[in-house]
Amino acid sequence: MERKEAEERIRELSRELEEHNHRYYVLAQPIISDLEFDFKLKELEALEKEWPEFASPNSPTQRVGGDITKGFETVAHRYPMLSLSNSYSREEVSEFVARVEKEIGSTIYVMELKYDGVAISLSYADGELMRGVTRGDGEKGDEITANVRTVRSIPLKLRGDFPKELEARGEILFMRAQFDKLNAERAKNGEELYANPRNTAAGSLKQQDPKDVAKRGLDNFIYTLQGEHLPTKSHYGNIMAARTWGFKTPDPSRRFIERANNVEGIMAFIDHWDKARHKLEMDIDGIVIKVDDLRIQEELGLTAKSPRWAIAYKFQAEQAATRLNDVVCQVGRTGAITPVAELEPVLLAGTTVKRASLHNADQIAKLDLHIGDTVLVEKGGEIIPKIVGVVIERRSKDASMVLFPQVCPECGTELIRLEGEAQHYCPNEHLCPPQITGRIEHFVGRRMMAIDGLGGETVQELVNARLIGNVADLYELKKEQLLELGKGWGEKSAQQVIAGIEASKKIPFEQVLFAIGIRHVGETVAKKIARGAGSMQRLAAMTPEELVQLDEVGPVIAESIVDFFAVQGNRDIVDRLRQHGLRMELDPSEVVVAGDKLKGLTFVVSGVFRNFSRDGIKETIERNGGKVSGSISSKTSYVLAGADMGPAKRTKAEELKGTRHR
């Protein structure tokens, strides 16, 4: 075969196979036999092997898996992948609708099935799949593109009139029939059965050999699009457009997605699927309700963790009855005491449950727990087991009441309970063993200092060997000390840890702040505080009144920061980390301050801009000393209104006296 002829044949076969793949896995309307499909695929594989220069990364041959991936690169999401606020009652759904309509008036809502799978973000450029990334922490996730290509319902090339760039977000999952088939094969081979479809899907996507992933037969549904040039301002309209581009999306003909203009319509959808969900070919754990208009979504904005324009209604969790054998108390890295119920093993929602969280002393008292009780267990959000009740009539007359401890179960220190908080704490933060290891494990984690080679077991080993007693001790470790530990430690593993510790000195200040483990200061809040305070030294000297002026900092977080730096041991550790070269202030190259011309002014940026991106405008405001807010209030100085600004936000801006509207 001549070169030109080979190139044309490869293109022709690729087009044919993608069409047949779409018909089989998305439309469920095949027009050729499996044998014919396999013959065409083998021909394409042979041609690509002979003419590799014509093989595309998105060739249909990649559906069966490519080269082995050694580890997954962490990449940032262009648009954050936020979690949804969960609701377990219809009253909360009604309250959500009331809040939305109080702010923007009547509107259209979209209801969809909440698939029980693994969230994925798919990036396309010029219609070609470029990257597949897991949710991760919402801001960055693992790139698993090679594994994503093996999911046959995910298009490698789009069809029709699609935007030049877009992100499609959805859920990768197992259909029940495919999951049952996998377990039947494992049973036949005498292997342990997979517990449930969701966990198996998550584990499948993290396998390093895409060929193994391809054998699993995963599926996918797309539930939203992100991009600057989407075809409509309607979420529903965009999902229908995505359907024409080759994506597998919720099917309106099967009531997988519907629209309503009031709470009654939303409830009718919930009622239908609360009964019909067990007949579906895949698992769902609830219903998602979204505002349909993208402009109104922007007006409503986001909280630190979730969008204000959407809510998830979770179906009633499955329950099981079992025996309470004991209650033990665990000590977390911040000293929080969490009681855990030890249960007689019971099968619940596809997994065997042996333990359940009791949260705090109040929960134990409320349930009036006794050892030996028959308790009712369910999975909160169908994930975390919890005790929701006791079968009192089955209680033995001589059963002993569960009493919450007065002292730390690990170090014997008297427990404290801060005013307004539900949990008890052990205040012995620098000598209580679980707090020592917990703080170090938190510190070395991927989203914190990202120190290679240091996991939970390794940290515990180093603590037991008295090589480290706090996070600052890590920076005084020597390779020779690790080698002397013996079993499991070789030249390569020891050098990996030492190199990882050294590399962590380049981690940005905001991650260092998150890593040191101040109570209530999570990843998002740490970024805001780092930007507002500028340095660890300034943060340590700030008063509660000054702290609450920082973005995302309220009285509780402010008090926690002050309390942290009031402890001499914490100040000593921070000083040692500084001496070892960790970054204790913002790098000027990361936050370039152009001036303070906008100091004291608060801006709201809304709508679409022709020559500038919204993020670019916001960054410029902050660099010049201004503050950017997501909502209009009496404190708003200016509103920058682009095209398609929501009408409610515009009306509110014009109504507020003292707001200068541009």
Q: In a 3-state reduction of DSSP, which class is residue 352?
A: strand
Please write the tens of the pLDDT for every residue from 84-131.
888 878 999 999 999 999 988 899 999 999 998 999 999 999 999 999
pTM comes to 0.61
* Beta partners for residue 310, in sequence order: 290
- Looking at residue 28, its pLDDT comes to 64
Q: Which helix (H) or strand (E) holds 173?
A: strand 165-173
- Taking residues 9-33, report their average pLDDT: 81
Q: Are strands 660-661 and 638-641 parallel, antiparallel or unpaired?
A: parallel
Rounded to an integer, the average pLDDT of 497-512 is 94
N-terminal to C-terminal alpha carbon distance within the chain: 66
The CA-based angle 272-277-281, given to 5 degrees, is 135
Please report the pLDDT score of residue 659 as a whole number: 45
Tens of pLDDT, residues 522-554: 887 898 899 889 999 999 999 999 998 887 788
Task: For the beta carbon of residue 531, count every other beta carbon within 10 angstroms.
Answer: 17
Contact 521, 448 (CB under 8 A): no
- Assess whether pLDDT exceeds 70 at residue 14: yes
Mean per-residue pLDDT for 60-64? 75
Encoded amino acid at 126, one letter: D
> Rg of the Cα trace of the chain?
28
Catalytic, out of 114, 379, 527, 649? 114
* Domain annotation for the chain: domains and CATH numbers: 3-55 (1.10.287.610), 86-314 (3.30.470.30), 317-426 (2.40.50.140), 433-506 (1.10.150.20), 509-579 (1.10.150.20), 602-661 (3.40.50.10190)
Q: Give the torsion through C-alpha atoms of 122, 127, 129, 134, to 10 deg.
A: -10
Structure tokens at 105: 């008036």
Q: Mapping DSSP to helix (H, G, I), strand (E, B) and coil, where does residue 141 land?
A: strand
Percent over 90 (pLDDT), the chain: 52
* Least confident interval from 60-64, 99-103, 285-289: 60-64
pLDDT at residue 383 in the model? 58
CA distance 569 to 521: 19
Please state, in angstroms and rounded to a whole number, the distance separating the CA atoms of residues 242 and 158. Answer: 9
Average model confidence (pLDDT) across the chain = 87
C-alpha distances in Å from residue 195, one per residue of 45, 351, 352, 598: 36, 5, 8, 56
> What is the predicted pLDDT for the residue at 405?
95
Q: Which of 223, 263, 270 is CA-nearest to residue 243?
A: 223
Phi-psi region of 579 (alpha: psi -120 to 50; beta: other; left: phi over 0): alpha
Least Cα distance to 571 among 526, 531, 541, 533 occurs for 541
What pLDDT, on a 0 to 100 scale, did the predictor assign at position 231? Answer: 95
Residue 47, pLDDT score: 87
* Predicted pLDDT at 68: 52
pLDDT tens across 170-216, in order?
999 999 999 999 988 888 877 777 878 888 898 889 887 888 888 89
Q: How confident is the model at residue 661 (pLDDT cuts 50, 70, 90)?
A: very low
At 246 the pLDDT is 95
Which tokens is 284 given?
A: 């769902």
The rounded distance, in Å, linking the Cα atoms of 340 and 258 is: 41
Q: Is the pLDDT of residue 379 over 80?
A: no
pLDDT of residue 67: 52
- On whether the CB atoms of residues 58 and 285 are closer than 8 A, the answer is no
% of the chain at pLDDT higher than 70: 93
Query: Mean pLDDT, to the nearest integer, of 605-630?
Result: 76
Integer CA distances (angstroms), 84 to 94, 307, 314, 446, 561, in order: 16, 7, 11, 24, 28
DSSP E strand boundaries for 492-591: none
Q: What are phi and psi of 578, to 5 degrees?
A: -65, -45
Can you give the pLDDT at residue 662? 46
Q: Is 627 a catalytic residue?
A: no
Residue 98: phi and psi, rounded to 5, are: -65, -40
Type of residue at 496:
Q
Per-residue confidence (pLDDT) for residue 553, from 0 to 100: 86
Question: Cα separation of 513 and 447, whole Å?
Answer: 11
Angle, nearest 10°, between helix axes 456-464 and 433-444?
130
Residue pair 335/426 in contact (Cβ under 8 Å)? The answer is yes
- Report helix angle 3-25 to 34-50, nearest 10: 150
SS (H, E, C) 269-330: HHHHHHHHHHHCCECEEEEEEEECEHHHHHHHCECCCCECCEEEEECCCCEEEEEEEEEEEE
Written as one letter, the residue type at 5 is: E
pLDDT tens for residues 557-616? 999 999 999 999 999 999 999 999 999 998 766 555 556 788 888 888 887 776 676 767
Q: What sections of 329-391 are H helices per DSSP? A: 361-367
